[in-house]
Copies of this chain bind each other. A is one copy, B any other.
Amino acid sequence: MPPTPKASQSLHGGSKSEASLFLSDNSKRALEKIRDLMRDAIQMKKNELPDLTLSKLREEYLKLDWESRQRALLVLATQFGVDRKRVHDLISHYESLSTDGGEESDAAEAARYRTEHDLRSALMPLSARLFEQMNGQAGGLKFLVDLRADLIATVKEKNLAALRALDSELKGMFATWLGPACLELQQITWANSAALLERIVVYEAVHPISNLYDLKRRLGVGRRCYGYFHPAIPGEPLVFIEVALTNEIVGSIQNVLFEEPPIAEEEATTAIFYSISSTQTGLAGIDLGHFLIKRVVRLLRQEIPNIQTFVTLSPIPGFLKWLLPKLKLQIRYAQVGAEDIIEMSDPPSTTFKENLLLPEEESNLVEACGKDKESISGMQILHDLLTSSDHEWAKSAKLVEVLRAPLMRLCARYLIVEKKRGRALDQVTNFHVRNGASVERLNWMGDTSIKGLETSAGIMVNYIYRLENIDTNNQAYLNKGIIAASPAIEQYLQSRL
């Protein structure tokens, strides 16, 4: 007899031991119940009311431990896929309709349309039918969003084609259901319920909210917070954006977060989008922020016509993740000499040797650190400074001044020039430029928090939304991989030569 392990109580933990491959009788029964409910719901006729069955299915699923949930998802993915027998039959029928391309009668055309439609339906996995029914039920959408969060975690653990296909199916359905037509823009203020505001605190992902006072300030005079709400998930924005009203482009997040509003709202000329956060893990990959920004721009122009500049203050999450390995590699190249590079055991990601620093930048660095240029390279110094514990360099006015030129230049290169398959390396850049923004300004010491220093050496960037350029920028990026940038940014790139 197989051992019957005690069912795990925690949801995203749970035993992954060998023993857990064997299910307890209880778990087996629960799983069979779930499968029967899935089948019942899917087999219902078009107008049959599936509410009872679906409610029971939800209830049973939510009772499962993490291990059994994963199994239930696997059952859904593998046993309720595409009806391939039916697909095969319809393909045969469809092929038999083929003519020599001549004029067809209207009846023949109708038969062809019908078969195309039927074949398309048959290619829809049965699980998708269950999702559609669930979405029709009160609370069903929220259940599906949470289900997809489980699914994403399951795919990470067991990377199976069937699970990936199920995930991409559900994701596609979300994209349809959560189109901008379905989403409502609402301003979030201190007058909203505590339950809602609590979620804002929990979900703020870019610049964490430290306490209630901090939150109140973010919703107060000179600031705005807007959320996208879906009617089926009330009281919980799917995504929200925080805005500060100023009379200039602000370059430092600490200025946005900590200062009292420097001007009256009527004097504001500039809206700074300083944070966009999604709230639902289960909506990963669904681009809601894009529509949100456009709606907020339109709304603010109506409300405060003085505001003519719409600009983000954004982190650069990938800058040092890109720069540090690059530095390390070039330091190695410099040590071994060019001719040995191709002999190196692990294939290098860059095939040419370059000094990432300009001569002047290098000598300034060496001088500032009081090192001997012969014994240690500028790149090594840079690497050591950036990886030093506690980011000591940021506390030295001298080092901050010396590092400014090379890091700003390299950051511009990272944002504008470096690409992967024609797309920006940085996910935030990719998001805004795809939306039609351009890169306006780099801000040295824009975010001096530990997170800011660790990810981007404290640099922040402003992406600007100029309505008249949005389409051009979007198309230049998608068609040619070109990222629009201001003259100031272009300047950095030229100084590279």
Interface residues of A (CB under 8 A from B): 45, 47-49, 51-52, 82, 87, 91, 94-95, 106-107, 109-110, 113, 116-117, 119-120, 123-124, 132, 135-138, 140-141, 160-162, 164-165, 168, 176-177, 179-184, 230-232, 291, 434-436, 470-471, 474-475, 478-479
Contact = CB atoms under 8 A, between A and B. Distances in A.
A180 B140 CA distance: 10
- How many protomers of this protein does the assembly include? 2
A350 to B, nearest CB: 28
Contacts of A113: 161-162, 164-165
A3 to B, nearest CB: 27
Given A95-B91, A123-B123, A162-B109, A183 B231 contact: yes
Contacts of A95: 91
A180 B141 CA distance: 10
Nearest to A124: B120
Contacts of A87: 116
B231 A184 contact: yes
Contacts of A180: 136-138, 232
A119 B109 contact: no
Nearest to A109: B161
Contacts of A45: 478-479
Contact of A117 (B168, B231, B435): B168
Contact of A49 (B107, B176, B177, B474): B474
11 contacts: A49-B474, A110-B164, A113-B165, A117-B168, A119-B123, A138-B180, A176-B177, A177-B181, A181-B231, A182-B231, A184-B231
A161 B105 CA distance: 10
Contacts of A141: 181
The 9 closest A-B pairs by CB, nearest first: A181-B232, A110-B161, A120-B123, A113-B165, A109-B161, A49-B474, A182-B182, A184-B231, A141-B181
Contact of A91 (B47, B91, B182, B478): B91
Nearest to A176: B176
A131 to B, nearest CB: 11
A136 B175 CA distance: 11
A182 B232 contact: yes
A140 B164 CA distance: 32
Contacts of A135: 179, 181
B179 A136 contact: yes
A171 to B, nearest CB: 12
A286 to B, nearest CB: 13
Given A110-B161, A136-B180, 8 more contacts: A49-B435, A82-B116, A91-B91, A109-B161, A113-B164, A120-B120, A177-B182, A181-B182
A298 to B, nearest CB: 8
Contact of A436 (B49, B117, B132, B478): B49
